[in-house]
Amino acid sequence: MFFKDIFAAALLATQATATIYYAGVAESSGEFGVYTHDLLIWVGAGASKTVGTGLPGTFGVDYKFINESAIDVYVDQNHVNLFRVAFLLERMCPVATGLGASFNETHYGFFVDAINYITTTKGAYAILDPHNYMRYNDPSQQPSTGSIIGDTTDSKAATTAQFAEFWGELAGRLKDNEKVIFGLNNEVLIQMQVKKYKKLILQAPRHGHESDPRQRPSSHKCHPSSRSKPAVGLPPLPRSKIEDAQLLTFPKSIIAPGNGYTGGHSWTQNYTGNSPASSAVLGNLTDPVNNTAFDIHEYLDSDFSGSHANCSQSGPTNLAPLTAWLKTTGFKAMITEFGGSNSTGCAGYITGLVNYMAQNEEYIGWTAWAAGPLWGSSSPCCGGGNAWGSLEPGSLAADGSPGFYATVWEKDVQPLVPVELQWSGVSSVRGGNLTSRV
């Protein structure tokens, strides 16, 4: 009995150090309205069927960032404190003027209104998510269209300096909002020399300008190309320490993606299309203010794509090598995309993944994929081609039955939301004071 008690005490002590500071949902609809695909199933009712159109699009019709009423439900009733808000670089920085510090002020106004509602009105945190796969100028068939940012062989490609200028401008405009988190880019999928990619990491949110002016599914996670195939890999986000007097200007959290759809299961794997492995490149990343975590996506279906209704991949088993690497290197991670359907068996896989994060101190937060105002009966992931609704409160399936909000979020995810989360202070990978809003 003595040894059993000692073991139990040690286990509790270990778990006491593991804390989820941020929990919530991804808000997907701000990137809608431009996606084109040969299969009409992948083209929503409002999407353009002509490559190159859909920009800038009509706000509230082609794209929209949030429904304030949905944010109210998630914060006031579900007591979550994190939203990952997707947008397109091509709308923020029109192609006519190029990627950089010149913004479409009307579009920026719509975006900042959403961010301010989440952070200022509701007191939650917001991840700024350029949903571009590190490409710019043609999002019509993401992730395969658009010039690779930093590709010096492509005369149309934006440069790494322009990418840094964009982030510097956006960070500068939001410098007084302590509740934003900079998500560098969604699922970087292109291959580039490591030394070139070092330029992308930030000369961006860590410094910048001080100015303060005020298709429906464009990128399904259930993308028709299977994630069981090797993703075209980008040696992701290694960076040397940037010597710049302005680096400490914006010390908010950064989350940086890895290779291979930034999959946690493949983080330490080196294979064709995923070489070098994220773990081989990112261990020497340095941040002058030590406030960078890694952005992880982890779906639970057979090929990790989020395109199937059945769950078969164990989150704890598949994340174990990543967790060991995080422990060794001292980094933290957020899982900003994960999901499962309402099919028999997925509940256990979802519970296993979320509990695993809660039990391992290397994970500081998560957002489930996905809610959003324009999904209708379509499913952002895990529907297997079925229209079973989304995580948007009130969502309905195509047959009028309750959608994924009721059948997945309320049933499987909501019971796993920590009672105490961080509700005040600057976004930090080290977390802050935990309080309850229950």
Out of 90, 165, 187, 298, the active site residue is 187
Q: Is 82 helix (H, G, I), strand (E, B) or coil?
A: strand
| Alpha carbons 259 and 278: distance in angstroms, whole number | 6
SS3 content of the chain, % helix, strand, coil (to 5): 25, 15, 60
**Annotation says 210 is catalytic:** no
Q: Is 417 helix (H, G, I), strand (E, B) or coil?
A: coil
Going by C-beta distance under 8 Å and a sequence separation of 6 or more, which residues neighbour residue 437?
A: 75, 79, 421, 423
Going by C-beta distance under 8 Å and a sequence separation of 6 or more, which residues neighbour residue 151?
A: 157, 190, 192
- Beta-bridged to residue 84, according to DSSP, are 26, 127
Contact 336, 366 (CB under 8 A): yes
Q: Is 399 helix (H, G, I), strand (E, B) or coil?
A: coil
Other C-beta atoms within 10 Å of 41: how many? 11
| Alpha carbons 395 and 352: distance in angstroms, whole number | 25
**Annotation says 361 is catalytic:** no
Helix (H) or strand (E) holding 279: helix 278-282
| Alpha carbons 305 and 294: distance in angstroms, whole number | 19
Out of 27, 165, 298, 337, the active site residue is 337
Catalytic residues: 187, 337
